[in-house]
Amino acid sequence: MGLTCSARNDGNPGTMNFLTSPELTTAMTFAGSMEFNPMTDSLVTPSGKQFKFQPPTGESLPVRGFDSGMLPFYRTDKQATKV
């Protein structure tokens, strides 16, 4: 399920964020509840039938490999902050 973190973005312990995947967010939106667990719970369709989400699928690794990203940042003496 989602992970709840306090003070994640702004340092304020009163701020609450809910971190989760797009798939889980979509399932909870369709269910209309954050208590919905798509791994075990079903929804009832307008026709009265039970509906259960299938686990998402995808590539385990990118075909072309991972992006190497940016080179590490090395601070120069001019960028050093005096304390």
pLDDT given for residue 61 in this prediction: 75
The predicted-structure confidence for 5-63, as pLDDT tens digits, reads as follows: 555 566 677 766 667 888 888 999 999 998 999 999 999 999 999 999 998 787 777 78
Of 2, 4, 49, nearest in space to 27 by CA:
2
Regarding predicted confidence, which is higher, 41 or 64?
A: 41
d(CA 72, CA 76) in angstroms, rounded, equals: 13
Model pTM greater than 0.75? no
